[in-house]
Amino acid sequence: MGQRELGHGASLLGYPETHNNNNKRSSWSRPHSIWASLALLLLASTVVALFVNSIFGQWRVEVEHKHNENQGGVEANDVVESEHGVVAADDGRCSEIGVSILRDGGHAIDATVATALCLGVVNPMSSGIGGGGFMVFRSSATSKAEAYDMRETAPSAASKDMYANDINSKYHGALSLGVPGEIAGLYEAWLRHGRLSWKALFAPAIRLARDGFIVAPYLSSTINSSATMILDDPGLRQVFAPNGKFLKLGDTCYNIELARTLEAIAEQGPGAFYNGSVGESFVKDVRKAGGILTVEDLKNYKVNVIDAMATDFMGYKILGMPPPSSGTLGMSLVLHILNSYGTSEEDTGSLGLHRLIEATKHMFAIRMNLGDPNFVNITAYVTDMLSPTFAKELQKKIFDNTTFPPDYYMSRWSQLRDHGTSHFCIVDSDRNAVSMTTTVNYHFGGGVLSPSTGIVLNNEMGDFSIPTEISSDDLPPAPANFIEPNKRPLSSMTPVIILKDNQLAGVIGGSGGMLIIPAVIQIFLNHFILGMKPLAAVQHPRVYHKLIPNVVLYENWTIMDGNHIELSEDNKLFLLERGHELKGRPGGAICQLIVQNLTNSSSMEGENQVFHGTLIAVSDPRKDGRPAAL
């Protein structure tokens, strides 16, 4: 098929799209004189200016939302600004708690502890101290970036064949539990950088668990969709269906046992969980429910703290997690493929969207060679995914007039199809930055809540590959991701920090399993490369591809604030003409974004000076998130 001419408002990813209020769908038009002016402007611009500014005509929406009844009294916008500090979480109450810690003189890491604990209370379907996560931290004083791997590990009694007779138990029930790492990771970061007392950081979450919190829309929806699972588990039923009645939107939820657990950890430190009475009770509940966790597993859990992985793209440095996260490497490979085209008009419009999809398919084909580097040698694959030269070779396999069946991309292994998670971003007044993704994997993890501790059990063992599992993509399981005792499973989580000329430019991350990597890539391109405003960059309709099935998933849904998000008809037609199969998806990844306005930063003298520009924080309106500012 021949290439199609670029349409109006063309840009790298094919803007504009549909994003309308009140569930209405319409086309956005402009007078012909404006388009003529735009054409003249584009012709007069330099190649790079064309690449960055080709988004004139895109919608720009900054709508204020007030959700007092659903956010426990918090009034907030989708976007906030501050000269001093911001928090963007996927629940407004937790953003406010994070900012309150900053207001008390806390470091970004102090706010991280309080925010993560809050999310584990009010969004227990997505995260909590029964799970784990990844955190990237950058110190403004030293310019050093640390990666905290608090990912769950396989119990000591685990083996690659442990689910051979019951594949369902890999995903559901106590046998799907990995050794939780969140508390250990938060404590390690606090020991290194915290300013406030450990106990003080627990107080807000304890109050929410003990005194109750209002059930927000996302939790209410998840309770409804998980009704059977909740009724089947005594612990979940006790909290989310007290007296046999499911909690609904606006009800007050209490988790008294979790409040007691948090009080013990606040008073005694993480030893209460990893080497104390809380952990003993937790293990007892897990084993009673059919799990294999032991007290020794908790005692032996270790956080991995290493240098953050770095990759460069068009003048920006992206700092993220090394494996077993595949996020930074996946992002690096896709961006290098796109960058290998150069900056020309062919990069813009619907064609750019086609190329992004093709690059994403190549990335997913390669990433299943990754695994926990403490157990498998993945050096060659890491080198390739960071290499512009390797990306250029893949770019040569992308054709602008067609797509291909999955086997063209030479995928060897079945894909990891992880789920859920919660993400938040924090920047403090000193410009210390945190990007953290935390998870229990599926909604409510393995569908078990420890009755004596109030902790939701993760089902992170589901993220491992096993020899006997027959997947929907008809590919064999990935040996690099097979279960071994103390091993960490592969992950799609993508917490990143963005630098420009060694100054903080932004913080991004998201939740949504396999959808996270393409979502973070699109938000990065939207704002940092295409120049979209932060809120527009997050709100904009996204596309996803999982390689198998060979289907482009495009967002087509009315989100919680009443806005409708959908890929434009022009882009749909362009992709269909190239052989893509399209499917609308009433959902997508949930992302948070913080950016720092770096205007005038180039005028600073001295290499070690820290620039303090205006901070802009955005929480994704696709969920209940609201940012907060100091």
Q: Are 117 and 201 in contact (CB under 8 A)?
A: yes
18 as an active site residue: the answer is no
Q: Is residue 606 packed enough to be buried (19+ CB in 10 Å), middle (13-18) or exposed (0-12)?
A: exposed
Q: Name the catalytic one among 261, 421, 437, 453.
A: 421
463 among annotated binding-site residues: yes
Is 387 within 8 Å of 50 (Cβ atoms)?
A: no
Residue 536's CB: how many other CB atoms inside 10 A? 22
Using the structure block, give the residue that is written with the tokens 């198998």: 548
Peptide bond into 16 cis (omega under 30): yes
> Which 8-state DSSP code applies to residue 24?
-
Decide: residue 613, CB within 10 A, 0-12 exposed, 13-18 middle, 19+ buried.
middle
575's tokens: 């992709």
From CA 183, how far away is CA 273, in angstroms rounded? 8
513 is in an annotated binding site: yes
Cβ-contact 85, 99 below 8 angstroms: yes
- Residue 427: both structure tokens together: 């920047």
Residue 596's DSSP bridge partners are 615
Structure tokens, 363: 């990335």
Q: β-strand 551-558 against 581-585: which pairing, if any?
A: parallel
Q: Find the DSSP H helices in 12-127.
A: 32-44, 47-53, 92-103, 108-122
Enumerate the β-bridge partners of residue 558. Answer: 564
Which residue has tokens 């970061």? 189
Q: 101 to each of 98, 260, 595, how far by Cα in Å?
A: 5, 22, 20
How far lies 431's CA from each of 140, 187, 427, 499, 503, in Å? 6, 21, 6, 12, 9
313 in Cβ contact with 12 (< 8 Å): no
Separation CA 450–CA 282 (nearest Å): 6
Pairing mode of beta strands 309-313, 316-320? antiparallel
492 is in an annotated binding site: yes
- Whether 414 contacts 471, CB under 8 Å: yes
Q: Is residue 339 a known part of a binding site?
A: no
Please give the Cα distance from 170 to 190 (Å, whole number).
33
Quickly tell me which residue has 């799907």 as its tokens: 176
618 in a labelled binding site: no
The closest alpha carbon to 286, from 157, 164, 410, 395, belongs to 157
Radius of gyration of the chain (CA): 23
Enumerate residues 6+ apart whose C-beta is below 8 A from 336: 311, 313, 387, 388, 390, 391, 392
CB contact set of 395 (below 8 Å; sequence gap of 6+) = 337, 340, 341, 359
Q: What is the DSSP string of 278-302?
A: HHHHHHHHHHHTT----HHHHHT--
Is 387 assigned to a binding site? no
Helix (H, G, I), strand (E, B) or coil at 183: helix
Query: How far is residue 532's CA from residue 517's CA, in Å, rounded to a whole number?
Result: 19
Locus of tokens 């990813």: 13
- Type of residue numbered 209: A
Catalytic residues: 421
> Could you tell me which residues are annotated as the binding site for L-glutamate?
151, 439-441, 463, 491-492, 513
> Could you tell me which residues are annotated as the binding site?
151, 439-441, 463, 491-492, 513
